Amino acid sequence: MPAVNTHDVIIVGGGSAGAVLANRLSEDASRKVLLIEAGPAYTSVDFPDVIANANRVGGDAAHDWGYRTQDHLGLGHDVRALRGKVLGGGSAVNAAVAMRARASDFARWTARGVKGWTFEDVLPVFKSLENTPTGDDDWHGRTGPFPIRQRTMEENTPSMQAFVLAAEAAGLARVSDFNGSEQNGVSPYPLNVVDGRRINTGMAYLTDDVRRRPNLTVMGHAEADSIVFSGSRAIGIKLIGGETLTGGKIILSAGTYGSPSILMRSGIGPSSHLRELDIPVVVDAPIGNRLKEHPFYYNVYALKPEAISMTPAAGAIVWTNSSEAGPDELDLHVSGTHIFDPDQSPTGGAIVLACSVTLPRSNGSIRLASRDPRAMPLIRFNFFQDPSDLRRMMEAVKLSRRIGRTAPFSNMIEMEMFPGKNVDEDASLEKAIIEQVDGYSHPTSSVPMGSAEDPTAVVDENGAVRGAENLHVVDASIMPDIVSAPTNVTTIMMAEMISRRI
């Protein structure tokens, strides 16, 4: 007997992408949509302070998956792999920095043979998803669901203002709007923060009105184990616990770690790896081979007692190019935040200038540790595997320290805490960076999009899994390559774009 479809579409994961899809796909009242989310599915007014308060970044143990990487072999230590476990996903626990990927990022996707994702294609979607009162009409939308607000200098702490001024004194241009025509320089952040509240996609896209739609069901605390197939046709989702939900179309939006894990548990992945775990192969697919993450190094300063104010936490950023960047690429960030435990500072206040290489060449990987859906996957970022990434990180940290020594910032600083004044030679700085490098929490490209001719691609330009039917992946995992911006707004844009195409 053919399976009875209780839903036309099942979306797995209610994060940055999944919440957008649940809204857009249920706009058609004749389409029955089910969204399942492993974490709690709070209504917009019920999000607890740890999730809604923009100054609390990274969530807590109850709203995170607790993942770490297996990078000790290359780095001498593992790296945290944070990801939200709550409606809104990463957008519910992130720093709320709302910067779009640049035209050159999409040009790199196009150069890989990906069609339909040029900057001309995506700019109207970036505009339509946002509502922002400032900036130029050529670049901005006024009426979209996602609020983006340009932080002003006056709203920032005195030390953050001094960071911006010192960066200018050190030779960087002052950017008025990172989501406008020019990005190379320094500016306070644009943020999806309104009145101190981080507006995650669960709040912005799954409003009470949307959740009242009779054709939309949002299920919290529902964790997918695997996809149910009839041959290579996806027909349902098996939940941990055994219940099976049937659907006409299955969309995975479980994020860069979740979506490849569900696919591999379901028999879609590198066949040799699946066989090692006795998982019957449905589609031999190159999943998990092109994982990317931005390496992140914290140049930390203790603030003078008269300048210890630490809220708002985020801040301002330098976005610029290294000496190895390609034409029109901006591959370095120095991100100013107060995301640091004040008790760890001798003065009770600190500012972090976090340095990143945002177009890393090193390739990470993700594999299953076991068939058990509760087991943490084996994640490797392989930071600095490509020597260019370490060379460029050295440039970023040297730039950050140069800003640190420049007035008016230098006047607000009691001391440099990390790497500290004893770390001066290149060799000791390299060692400190390798020992302390962390992730920026922007993982992408574990289920990459690409053309039919690309043997390393898994999904097509609309997120459809090649070799399977009725199965899509729509989240940061399908980016053909990591982008040089923080990844949230670009992920939301991709979900908006694909919701119009499927």
Ligand X SMILES: Cc1cc2nc3c(=O)[nH]c(=O)nc-3n(C[C@H](O)[C@H](O)[C@H](O)COP(=O)(O)OP(=O)(O)OC[C@H]3O[C@@H](n4cnc5c(N)ncnc54)[C@H](O)[C@@H]3O)c2cc1C
Of the pair 179, 406, the CB lying nearest ligand X is at 179
**In angstroms, what is the minimal distance from the CB of 72 to ligand X?**
21
**In angstroms, what is the minimal distance from the CB of 12 to ligand X?**
5
CA 361, 262, 369, 15: dihedral to nearest 10 degrees?
60
> Which amino acid is it at 344?
Q
Of the pair 283, 314, the CB lying nearest ligand X is at 314
**In angstroms, what is the minimal distance from the CB of 83 to ligand X?**
5
**128 class by beta-carbon count within 10 Å (0-12 exposed, 13-18 middle, 19+ buried):** middle
Of the pair 93, 307, the CB lying nearest ligand X is at 93
Q: Residue 125 belongs to what H/E stretch?
A: helix 119-129
Of the pair 150, 491, the CB lying nearest ligand X is at 491
Give the C-alpha separation, 98 to 147, whole Å: 9
Query: Which residues touch 143 (CB under 8 Å, ≥6 apart)?
Result: 131
Three state DSSP letters for 222-258: CCEEEEEEECCEEEEEEECCCCEEEEEEEEECCHHHH
Of the pair 239, 302, the CB lying nearest ligand X is at 239
Of the pair 91, 382, the CB lying nearest ligand X is at 91
Give the C-alpha separation, 390 to 434, whole Å: 8
With CB atoms as reference, the residue minimizing the distance to ligand X is: 15
**In angstroms, what is the minimal distance from the CB of 189 to ligand X?**
8
Of the candidates 99, 492, 79, the one whose C-alpha atom is nearest the C-alpha of residue 291 is 79
**In angstroms, what is the minimal distance from the CB of 431 to ligand X?**
26
Angle in degrees, 0-180, between the axes of helices 426-436 and 387-404, rounded to the nearest 10: 100
3-state SS assignment for residue 164: helix
What does the block give as tokens for 245? Answer: 């939900």
* Structural contact between residues 16 and 475, judged by C-beta atoms closer than 8 angstroms: yes
Of the pair 429, 479, the CB lying nearest ligand X is at 479
DSSP state of 326: P
**In angstroms, what is the minimal distance from the CB of 64 to ligand X?**
8
Give the C-alpha separation, 234 to 237, whole Å: 8
- The per-residue b/e assignment along 169-182, b for 16 or more CB within 10 angstroms, e otherwise, is ebebeebebbbbee
**In angstroms, what is the minimal distance from the CB of 414 to ligand X?**
27
- Which residues of this protein are in contact with ligand X, per CB under 6 A? 12-18, 36-39, 57-58, 82-85, 89-91, 93-97, 223-224, 253-256, 258, 262, 441-442, 475-476, 486-489, 491
Catalytic residue among 140, 294, 442, 472: 442
Residue 442 annotated to the active site: yes
* Structural contact between residues 469 and 229, judged by C-beta atoms closer than 8 angstroms: no
**In angstroms, what is the minimal distance from the CB of 201 to ligand X?**
8
> Which amino acid is it at 345?
S
Give the C-alpha separation, 365 to 45, whole Å: 38
Of the pair 70, 226, the CB lying nearest ligand X is at 226
Which sequence positions are flagged as catalytic? Answer: 442
